Amino acid sequence: MFKWFPVLAGALGLLWFWVGPDAGTTERDFGGRPTPVNTAIVNEEIFADRLSAAGTLEAWESVDIRSSVSQIVTELKFEDGDTVSQGDILAVLKQDAEQARLAELSASLADAKREVKRLQNLAEKNQVAQTELDRATTRVEVLVYQLEEVQARLRDRTIIAPFSGQLGLREVSPGALITQGTRITTLDDLSRMRLKFSVPATELSVLSVGQSVVARSAAFDREFKGLIRAVDSRVDPVTRSVQVRAELPNDSGLLKPGLLMNTRVEANPRRTLLIPEQSLESRASSHYVWRLNSAGQAEKVQVEIGSRSPGVIEILSGLQAGDEIVTDGVGSLRASPADVKVGG
């Protein structure tokens, strides 16, 4: 006989489930008492579509300072981390032979010019053939070209800063024999930074040159603001993303190339209705909130939502500014309208 007790208990439980009180009533949940909830007033606020991405900082201008010839370093005119201006001399390579050749050609050119002047005076008196004057003039031109060649070799052995910026670490010493392509140091223009990041191609419609960006790094407890300067003309066919480049001012000098930046792009700023994220109840593609009526009861109303941001949701229709909605306790509400106790 006792073996039928579990079967009988199961049958009675099933019967109670089908014919018992409605599971959606607040009386079943709270024994006839109002459901305790917290509420908030719906307000219009400034809101913008937000697009988040991870970006990497690059110097506005960056170059490795290298030698274009193989020669001995005779002089280094900088220290680690120096700030230099465009045209400042950074290093001098051995150039004794070039300096001697420069002096020789300069003397020869001066002599050749004097000879041309002498022949011109004689040619005016028809005391010398024109061909002789022409040969002297050609010699001057050849010497000028040879002089320019030596000056170019001297420039190759005098390494200057191509733009203003901050030098990196010195990688050679005076007296070292360096070969073509040897890196002497690095130079970065850190007065402003390039922030490079990728966004899905589906978000192209919200991107435009001149938009504001906000970037934050784990290295600093602050935000850095800048502007989008360029959007790549091509979409990566593998990742289906597009490269975006923004400019960040760096007057404080805190930002360094290579830093990882959490980037946020804000587009289409507008005044709109916002509600807390926990207020929304969704079923498939339908969305609802519980709004207090004039009797103090919570009514379930359908709303149309727009964009989302961490913690808040944009409401396009279904609510008005000044409406009071349930924020905490939504999961306990079933039948509409429901008796509620605000702040309970």
Residue 11 confidence (pLDDT):
56
Tens of pLDDT along the chain (344 residues) come to 445 555 555 555 554 444 444 434 434 444 568 888 889 999 888 887 788 899 999 999 999 999 999 999 999 999 999 999 999 999 999 999 999 999 999 999 999 999 889 888 888 788 878 888 889 999 999 999 999 999 999 999 999 999 999 999 999 999 999 999 899 999 999 999 999 999 999 888 888 898 889 999 988 988 999 999 999 999 999 999 999 999 999 988 899 999 999 998 877 778 899 999 899 988 888 899 999 998 888 999 999 998 887 788 889 999 999 999 999 888 888 888 888 888 75
| Sheet containing strand 158-160, strands side by side | 158-160, 89-93, 71-76, 177-178
pTM: 0.62
Instruction: Look at residue 22 in the predicted model and tell me its pLDDT.
Output: 42
* Contact status, residue 206 vs residue 267, Cβ threshold 8 Å: yes
